[in-house]
Amino acid sequence: MMLGKFEFFKKKSETTSPTPSEKTQTSSIQLEEQIDYIFENPEIKSATTIEYRFSEHEGRELKPGHNITFIIPNQFKGRLVRDVILQHRKAEKYRVGGTKAHDPNGAYSRIELHDTTTKKWTKWVDPKGYSADKYAEWRGSEDPENEVLHDWLATVGEISSDKARVTNVGEHAEYSTSQIHSLEIVFYPSLEGVNYTEKIYTPETSFIDIEKKKLLPKYGGGSHTEGIYKNAIALNGENALYPTNKDPGPGAKLEHNRIILDLEPNKNLIQIEIAVGDTEHLSEINTKTGHKTRLGYAKLWVGIKHENGQIDYFIKNANIPPQGIIAGGPLNSKIEKGDKLVIEARADTAYVMGWRLAYEK
């Protein structure tokens, strides 16, 4: 699953580039007939996550005015969509003029979901008012950009989808070509008959509450606090310039890069949500960010550890933003005696602000 870099949560080498012209945005809505490829069999990564990944190392090339359609499997049709994560980039061979911060022939990806209720294609809405069309940065094939279009329920509404599509809405017929590496869709579990167990470490952090119409999470730390995650659990690092928390709470223990939580046996674990960020707070201003911050590159892994020591990861290598919710659920939701949940950071330090488990009643 995974939730990665958010426009809402500025991340890593993200740059600002002008959006396509109003003409392109209007005309490209009529592109349904120009389908390059239909992707029908995604990998089911967890009980709440599916991923469509192209086998080409360079990604699947997508010309302006064309789209790729992704068919959602029957067992996920009709479920509310939480997040959509796109991996894309612009290849060096299409780089003609401009700079990394401004590409005169920019490639832009528009991600839409087909709503089975309205029978219409629906775009994501950025909660801060940025364009929903995602600029594809110049990057190598080993490092495509992660774009997370988060919190569809809050920003768009209830979307019950049977298919998705990615359309290149760049303007230059050749130089605006993009490379599509993968598309991931994260769904909400069935919300009926669910009990939650949660732990908040960083004050002012909270998860959504659909019944109370609180549809956007809140974060006590992140870019808005210049990388200060007060009282958070620091994974894979111990050098924060502010106090962090060494006690993950009852039924949990902290290892160097892991929190290990006890789970309730003989229950079905439907979903795990983790409020987390990876921005480092510095003692002086960083010339790259213009703030007392260093943007992190941590990856999150979450899995079930069994009594024999084996860990079945269902969230793998998820890109951690400055602040965000990463969510997923195990394919086999039945918790056996001795099973534990592992929340693990790799590659860089991550700061866990809180977690929430959803058990079936």
How many CB atoms lie under 10 A from the CB of residue 342? 18
For 15-72, the pLDDT digits (tens) are: 444 444 333 333 334 444 587 899 999 999 877 889 999 999 999 999 999 999 999 9
Out of 2.60.120, 3.30.1310, 1.10.238, 2.30.110, select the CATH number for domain 194-360: 2.60.120
pTM: 0.77
Torsional class of 233: left (φ above 0), alpha (ψ -120 to 50), beta (otherwise): beta
- If you average pLDDT over residues 102-128, what whole number do you get? 90
CATH architecture of 22-187: Sandwich (2.60)
pLDDT at 258 over 50: yes
Q: Quote the tokens at residue 101.
A: 């911060």
- % of the chain exceeding 70 in pLDDT: 89
Torsional class of 211: left (φ above 0), alpha (ψ -120 to 50), beta (otherwise): alpha
Q: Letter for the amino acid at 227?
A: G
Q: Which pLDDT belongs to residue 191? A: 63
Q: Quote the tokens at residue 177.
A: 């070509």
pLDDT at 279 over 70: yes
Domain residue ranges in the chain: 22-187, 194-360
CA gap 38, 60 in Å, rounded:
12
CA gap 22, 20 in Å, rounded:
7
Q: Quote the tokens at residue 55.
A: 């086998």
Q: Are strands 194-200 and 67-71 parallel, antiparallel or unpaired?
A: unpaired
Q: Find residue 291's DSSP bridge partners.
A: 286
pLDDT at 118 over 60: yes
CA gap 111, 168 in Å, rounded:
9
Same fold, 22-187 and 194-360: yes
Q: Which pLDDT belongs to residue 26? A: 34
Q: Quote the mean pLDDT of the chain.
A: 86
CA gap 342, 24 in Å, rounded:
46
